[in-house]
Chain A
Amino acid sequence: MSTIPIEVQDHNPHHSAPPGIKRWLLTTNHKDIGTLYLWFSLLMFLLGGSMAMGIRAELFKPGLQFFEPHFFNQLTTMHGLIMIFGAVMPAFVGLANWMLPIMIGAPDMALPRMNNWSFWILPFAFTLLISTLFMKGGAPDFGWTAYAPLSTTYGPKSTDFFIFSIHLMGISSIMGAINIIATILNLRAPSMTLMKMPIFVWTWLITAFLLIAVMPILAGAVTMMLMDRNFGTSFFNAAGGGDPVMYQHIFWFFGHPEVYIMILPSFGIMSEIIPTFSRKRLFGYPSMVYATCSIAFLSFLVWAHHMFTTGMPVIGEIYFMLATMLIAVPTGVKIFNWVATMFRGSLSFETPMLFAVAFLIMFTMGGFSGLMLAIVPADFQYHDTYFVVAHFHYVLVPGAIFGIMAAVYYWLPKWTGHYYSEHLSKVHFWLSAISINVLFFPMHFLGLAGMPRRIPDYALEFADFNRIASIGGFVFGASQLIFLYIIIKTIRGGEKAPALVWEGANGLEWTLSSPPPYHSFSTPPLVP
């Protein structure tokens, strides 16, 4: 079985990377493209993060200190867009590029040239987006959700650039997703059946389907926005028979699956890391797969829980409440499975595992606040307050971002051939894990006390918790520089890593040397 010859269309397996900038511009190698994606995402993470620092600085005390309200709104909008489309999503695509082929025994991604294209669109898309900050009238200032008519009739001139950059990001994501599906479905080693795939591959397969299902919807929504702004249509304009609330329906029909796009790959990462450091097989592999599928399916049925206050018939509100609460069931199953994997294992706490445990605790807390938000009457009090801000930052930062960081620490020795500094990385972990709670936990209280989100200045009763949150934010932001330093240091050198980087690890990627050869699995491996 393992000797079935395979044709590599694009390159000779013994050929190595061309030197210089051309290597990166013209590369069709999944490892190079994965690296590009990861660096790009780290850059965007630091950029979006510095905007967050600006926001927290302005909110450090009541009164306007640094920014005018108009610029503050631009900052919150750009922070959201950059973190979602620039940091989290490309990081996951980067991990997919690096890991999927070597986890399923494929020589490369299925469509290497398209792969190059889907990455190189991103720098252009984000240059366009960021350039709006320097335009007359300023960058988009209507929040990443871009609700009409604030974004249509009342949007700044730069909104059209925002729309175009969303189109580009969408094209990039869709091409990336198509590539991932084709790779997983067509290029698995012959003996790797679907139910033998690592969970990370499974979660990415489902995420990729979510992407091709909902990115076109976002593209459609912003296209309508573009037409309303420039071509005299009235999709969202009440005067012409349109409805601004319809924009919200369409947006959240994209937006809710989108939040699962940003968390499912993290679920996959957890399902790789926790068994490794528990030295025990993942508990309930099939139920993990089914739970992921049902989360993805349910994500299409709950969009209106983002808009309970727009005024809905009571029966609609009850339906969306029930459907939303239902998502807690498969999500709970996943948490229970991870805990059961740890239970009676032989645990050790290297940095990836620390991030995984922090993920488990804080993602669960984010899940709890999500459950609270699903209760419609209570949502009327929580909606659009800092409680919501706390909720989605708990699921996105200790959820998605900690997932990515755990993955980076877990696979960095594989990618570079060097172990990272366990000491420094633990400093990074503890600073991040503590400061993130100082940053986001008080936001629950702020929201419950009545502080709306997206405001540059606030009443005096909110001052104490905002100050605490800002201090947490600055520490969290600064700690990420340690992360950057660790990565650069590990690339440059360090303790040599063997093929099996972690003693409890299982999977094809650990059969390759660290770092793996430029072209790997030119002949499909045998899967045990």
Chain B
Amino acid sequence: MSPSPQFRALVFSLLLAMNPSVQADYIFNMTPGVTEISRGIHNLHMVIFWICVAIGLVVFSVMFYAIIWHRKSRGAKAANFHENTLVEIIWTLIPFSILTMMAIPAAQLLIKMHDTKTDSDLSIKIVGHQWYWEYEYLGEGVRVISRLSTPQEQIQNRDIKNPHYLREVDNHLVVPQKKKIRFLTTANDVIHSWWVPALGVKKDAIPGFINEAWAKIEEPGIYRGQCAELCGVLHGFMPIVIEVKTEAEYQTWLLEKKALMNNHPTIGHTP
């Protein structure tokens, strides 16, 4: 009656998770993302994961050794030891030192994430609303309202779902590539949380308060995220789509947007 088959299945699924060839259908792991920070996070995640696997293997092997060989049904007689100060000190100190070693790279990355030494190239204010996001390009007078664009028919199962079901919006947040972007988050009503995994950014948007995070995105492309703090009824229906363009394309987009806002000053205003 040993639970080992079940344990093996778990280990197997863990190993499977690390094998990139099966990721076509199932996403098993955290995205490495497209910024230096998000890659740093991914590396930390993998290091701590393998440390856990290693500790787990040692502890569980000892345990399963006992489960298999020290059974009463095999005629095992119980030994009489019940303490050993040296062993106990050692197994207190070893985890302690592993953890200390783990904390150093984590703290370094954290300090990097909080870096304000290098000035940012642009600031974008993100306002969480029930239940959509509003982006304001500070100093540019450009404002983008970004709402879920998945039709109700698809949500109510009356229509075939889009490939980006629930992760598509009417207006993308457009940003330039290779620029340090400062994201300022706040909210209009309740607490929301702005999260784009590929950027390694998750920051709470709190009404009355302002928070900041930054990202320097290397690859142009479209990255998707979602609100990560329960914010009421439609919490699951306020996705984030960020479109990263080259600097030149971004400038063109910005000019067009500005022209549009000058001609129709009501566009983009909070309804």
Contacts and interface: CB of A to CB of B under 8 A. Distances in A.
Q: Chain B contact residues: over half helix, strand or loop, or mixed? A: mixed
Contacts of B82: 280-285, 341
Contact of B45 (A69, A153, A286, A372): A372
Interface in A275-326: 278-287, 309-311, 314, 317-318, 321-322, 325-326
B146 interface: no
Contacts of B237: 69, 457
Nearest to B152: A64
A283 B87 CA distance: 11
A124 interface: no
A448 B99 contact: no
A112 to B, nearest CB: 36
B41 A326 contact: no
Interface in A196-245: 238-239, 243-245
Nearest to A462: B27
A122 B15 CA distance: 46
A149 B71 CA distance: 56
Q: Chain A contact residues: over half helix, strand or loop, or mixed? A: helix
A281 B78 CA distance: 9
A161 interface: no
Contacts of B107: 318, 321
B165 A62 contact: yes
Nearest to B25: A464
B72 A150 contact: no
Interface stretch (A89-97, A354-362, A409-417, A492-500): A354-362
B236 to A, nearest CB: 3
Given A280-B79, A445-B28, A450 B226 contact: yes
A311 B194 CA distance: 12
A318 B110 contact: yes
B3 interface: yes
Contact of B6 (A143, A372, A426, A434): A434
Contacts of B202: 309, 380-381, 383-384
Given A321-B107, A342-B67, A346-B77, A457 B155 contact: yes
Contacts of B1: 349, 354, 426
A141 B229 CA distance: 13
A314 to B, nearest CB: 4
Contact of A433 (B6, B55, B78, B113): B6
A380 B41 CA distance: 9
Contacts of B66: 339, 342-345, 347
A346 B27 contact: no
A63 B158 CA distance: 9
Given A346-B77, A375-B48, 18 more contacts: A64-B155, A244-B206, A244-B209, A283-B81, A283-B82, A285-B82, A321-B103, A336-B88, A337-B88, A341-B82, A347-B66, A349-B2, A361-B7, A365-B10, A378-B44, A381-B30, A441-B13, A445-B28
Interface of B: 1-3, 6-7, 9-10, 13, 17, 25-31, 37-38, 40-41, 44-45, 48-49, 52, 55-56, 59-60, 62-63, 65-67, 70-73, 76-84, 87-88, 91-92, 95-96, 99, 102-103, 106-107, 109-111, 113-114, 154-157, 161, 163-167, 189-191, 193, 195, 197, 200-204, 206-209, 211-212, 224-237
29 contacts: A69-B233, A69-B236, A141-B232, A150-B232, A154-B232, A238-B209, A244-B207, A280-B78, A280-B80, A283-B83, A310-B206, A317-B110, A318-B107, A329-B95, A339-B59, A345-B79, A348-B72, A349-B71, A361-B7, A361-B60, A364-B56, A368-B55, A384-B229, A385-B228, A437-B9, A448-B30, A450-B226, A456-B236, A460-B165
